[in-house]
Chain A
């Protein structure tokens, strides 16, 4: 399948491992529980990503971020805004510079907000027109508050 990454349509290279145990080859993301259960082996294997859900706490993995090439944040429902905060904290507070990917149920019309919170990759639900979805990134040329891409000086008119 294809995804959007850094505002380009590219082939997806990542698979997610649902169960703790034997991993398929290539780039694989795992849950926090999986990571904690097999931390040393996974570090040795490499090409590991982490998949977070909205209720996961960053405290338990904040010191391990350097081991992940990707952190996927899963949206159960598009109206659950916790993933936005998780991405922002990963990017801003914890300085995570790898791929932050939105997976699960979310809307093309949320991409712009997500990108401002630190997401740079989007695994949109099946059937979405990715070419059309790219328009989401150019709908606004100004912001009213700082975000992960806009410093305070570029932020709102109150400046």
Chain B
């Protein structure tokens, strides 16, 4: 993975020092809250319902074991013993004291981490495929480009005060595991007719109040122009994005207002003027950064080792975990293992300090010392020898990190909701719990195959409810929590925004309604048809009739 050079180290430490001074000026009253607010946001400090929250950047979700240990330390010494992994592959802590944040940032800097631009109307953490580097269907590893974008976007002098936040995602594989169609800019590594790899550039996707599928603005962008092209898009957006209404300020609104062709024309016109002016990525720049993401020292192994087969045959629990929580690896003899942060009794994405410490140890022992956060709020140990999977499973089981539910109905995305978040209209974690309680039989869940449920506590859609098979959105009506259900969303290359089922349902009924929907799926499914396939074949009405039959 990438390692800071002196330049990075200075920058990140100086940023921490700057924030220490800003906090000092705030606490002395010299800096009013109104002016401090955007500064603290740009260092990841939010005001939540009860306390400050600190969101720490995990660039493209990749962590070294020593960084995971530092997160454990922060959870233990500055929080209530846990952290929460987010859909931006970041981690947030819910209970730090403002006075302590400068110390936390110093400690993060000591392990090459920071909280820069994890909030505020600026360029946020670039996300990517959690299987980057090991996926079988990968054209090229996207992480070097994520890292280049991290560097370019860090304290960018011109784009720190955009109309609204700005999110970029990159995918390097045939299938899309990074939701590139739902980002302000989505980049896909693709091959052109001459066999060169470059980027397909999508723009103006997003969730929130107005979900929009991103549109192609460039079919093939040469790698050397990546940064200048991004800069051209950002400049057009900075100058023309709406600033009169926060709900209409994202780039998706601008792209729709201008039309993608006119937006493209303006970006191209701007780009022509800057493309050769100092942002070019030369081959040697790219190669240097790629050098940090070389495959680890894999052993020469083969798939299907007898020792694994024996364990799989001898232990059905292990076999179940293997089936659901591990996936193919491009290197023979290895598999990818998911660390499920979706145990039935804990909020999705939460990990305790002792779990984090233990995960770091497991990463050192079994997976070349690296841990990957996923936007589904799980963790991944990417490079596990197949013959060591059994030991890993035993260790994860003891830690309650082996719930064999990856990709299934209980592998839900759940935002912090009303439990923590000041913006929320309704609780999300309770709904996750309700669904976990109802669907507590694994065999039943396995029979359904992969079904996604995503829960947001308000219109801002941090829980990505628009792009789930079954989306759940909390709303408030006359002081009570209600929930709107959407069906048929998809985050992948078949990008789709879920359609509203009908009027919202009471909090107590949410799991029962999910049950009705699942019943129809089970009754109507032909063979191995996915939920989406059944939904597309039948339409939404049959679901509607069942759910609203009683009243």
Contact = CB atoms under 8 A, between A and B. Distances in A.
Interface string A41-69: 00000000000000000000000000000
B7 A81 contact: no
B159 A81 contact: yes
Q: For this complex, into which size category does the number of interface residues on chain B fall?
A: 35 or more
B35 A78 contact: yes
Interface of B: 4-5, 7-8, 10-11, 14-15, 17-18, 21-22, 35, 38-39, 121, 147-148, 151-152, 154-163, 227, 235, 238-239, 243, 273, 277-281, 285, 288-289
B289 A158 contact: yes
7 contacts: A82-B238, A88-B158, A112-B157, A140-B18, A152-B278, A152-B279, A158-B289
Interface stretch (A8-16, A28-36, A96-104, A141-149): A141-149
A135 B17 CA distance: 12
B151 A156 contact: yes
A144 B147 CA distance: 12
Given A85-B238, A142-B7, A80 B243 contact: yes
Given A81-B238, A152-B278, A156-B151, A142 B158 contact: no
Contact of B239 (A85, A151, A152, A155): A85
A155 B10 CA distance: 13
A155 B161 contact: no
Given A85-B238, A143-B155, A145-B151, A80 B278 contact: no
B151 A81 contact: no
A79 B121 contact: yes
Nearest to A139: B18
Given A85-B239, A142-B10, A156-B152, A151 B158 contact: no
Given A141-B14, A142-B14, 18 more contacts: A80-B161, A81-B162, A84-B158, A84-B159, A85-B235, A88-B157, A109-B18, A109-B22, A113-B160, A116-B157, A139-B14, A143-B11, A143-B155, A144-B7, A144-B155, A147-B158, A157-B5, A157-B8
A54 to B, nearest CB: 8
B161 A81 contact: yes
A93 B239 contact: no
B156 A145 contact: yes
Interface string A68-112: 000000000011111011001000110000000000000101101
A151 B160 contact: no
A92 B231 CA distance: 14
A91 B245 CA distance: 30
B121 to A, nearest CB: 7
B161 A142 contact: no
B239 A109 contact: no
A119 to B, nearest CB: 10
B285 A158 contact: yes
A80 B154 CA distance: 19
A25 to B, nearest CB: 36
A158 B289 CA distance: 7
Contacts of B39: 107, 109
Nearest to A152: B278
Contacts of A151: 278
Given A80-B161, A142-B14, A156-B7, A107 B289 contact: no
Given A142-B14, A152-B279, A107 B161 contact: no
A84 B238 contact: yes
B23 to A, nearest CB: 12
| Among all A-B residue pairs, the 8 with the closest Cβ atoms | A81-B161, A116-B157, A152-B278, A157-B7, A146-B278, A144-B154, A156-B151, A113-B157
Contacts of B273: 93
A159 to B, nearest CB: 6
A117 interface: yes
A13 B121 CA distance: 35
B80 to A, nearest CB: 31
A155 B18 CA distance: 20
A115 to B, nearest CB: 8
A40 B285 CA distance: 51
A109 B155 CA distance: 12
B3 to A, nearest CB: 10
A112 B289 CA distance: 28
Given A81-B238, A139-B17, A145-B151, A155 B157 contact: no
Contacts of B156: 144-145
A84 B14 contact: no
Nearest to A138: B14
A142 B35 contact: no
Contact of B11 (A92, A107, A113, A144): A144
Nearest to B284: A159
Nearest to B227: A145
B279 A146 contact: yes
Contacts of A139: 14, 17-18, 21
Nearest to A75: B161
A106 to B, nearest CB: 10
Nearest to A80: B243
A158 B239 contact: no
A79 B157 CA distance: 13
Contacts of A147: 157-158
A140 B288 CA distance: 25
Contact of A157 (B14, B15, B151): B151
A75 B35 CA distance: 15
Contacts of A110: 160-161
A80 B285 CA distance: 33
A155 B152 CA distance: 9
A158 B235 contact: no
B396 to A, nearest CB: 36
B157 A158 contact: no
Nearest to A143: B155
Residue from A92, A135, A147, A159 with most neighbouring chain B CB atoms (10 Å):
A159
